[in-house]
C-alpha cells in the first residue's frame, strides 16, 4: 500500500504527541487537555488511522526482566542476492530476531536480535542463522547499551 503525505493540524499533533508519550492515556483526558470533546478526539484518531498515519498502539516489554540481556546486530552476507526472500523467510522462524532490514553496503540483510547472553547468541548464530541455505557469512555487533530509543518527532 502506498503512503500518501498528509498535513497535520495543531490539534492532530497534540493528540499524537500525547499518545506517543502514553498510548494508554484516556481519550477524555486528551480532550480535556486540548479543550475538545472525547468524541472529536475519537473521530480524529479514526481519520488518522484510515490515512495510515497511526498504525497501531502497543506496550513495551522489558526484555531484561525476562532474562534477555544481550542485544546484537548481525550483518548477513548472501551468496546470491536472489536468495534474499528464501533467507528472510527462514529468519522469520527465529523468534529472537526483532527486526530484519534489506540494506545497501556490505551486507544484504541486517537483523536486530535479542538473546539471553553471549552463549545464547553463539548458539543462535551457529545453529539457526549460519546454517540457512544462501547465507555465506555473518558479522556480529553486540550492543553494550541502547542510548536513544524514540520515534519520529511530530
- What the chain holds in terms of domains, given with CATH numbers, is 10-50 (1.10.10.10), 63-143 (3.30.70.920)
Q: What is the mean pLDDT of residues 141-151?
A: 94
- Closest CA relative to residue 48, chosen from 57, 58, 59, 37: 57
**How far, in Å, are 12, 68, 73, 104, 143 from residue 132 at the CA level?**
46, 24, 17, 21, 24
**Alpha helix ranges (H) inside 22-149:** 27-34, 38-50, 84-91, 118-124
Return the CA Rg of the chain: 20
pLDDT tens digit sequence for 46-56: 999 999 999 98
For the whole model, what pTM was predicted?
Answer: 0.83
Dist. CA 75–CA 150, nearest whole Å: 23
pLDDT tens digit sequence for 99-126: 999 999 999 999 999 999 999 999 999 9
Q: In which band, very low, low, confident or very high, does the pLDDT at 3 lie, cut at 50, 70 and 90?
A: low
Determine the Cα angle at 28 with ends 23 and 33, to 5°: 85
Amino acid at each position: 500500500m502506498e503512503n500518501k503525505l498528509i498535513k497535520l493540524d495543531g490539534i492532530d499533533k497534540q493528540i499524537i504527541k500525547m499518545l506517543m508519550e502514553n498510548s494508554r492515556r484516556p481519550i477524555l483526558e486528551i480532550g480535556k487537555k486540548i479543550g475538545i470533546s472525547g468524541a472529536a478526539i475519537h473521530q480524529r484518531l479514526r481519520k488518522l488511522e484510515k490515512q495510515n498515519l497511526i498504525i497501531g498502539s502497543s506496550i513495551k516489554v522489558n526484555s531484561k526482566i525476562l532474562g534477555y540481556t544481550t542485544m546484537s546486530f548481525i550483518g548477513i552476507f548472501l551468496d546470491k542476492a536472489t536468495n534474499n526472500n528464501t533467507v528472510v523467510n527462514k529468519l522469520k522462524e527465529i523468534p529472537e530476531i526483532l527486526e530484519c532490514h534489506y540494506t545497501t553496503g556490505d551486507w544484504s540483510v541486517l537483523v536486530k536480535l535479542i538473546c539471553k547472553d553471549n552463549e545464547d547468541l553463539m548458539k543462535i548464530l551457529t545453529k539457526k542463522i549460519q546454517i540457512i541455505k544462501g547465507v555465506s557469512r555473518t558479522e556480529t555487533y553486540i550492543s553494550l547499551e541502547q542510548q536513544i530509543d524514540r520515534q519520529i518527532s511530530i
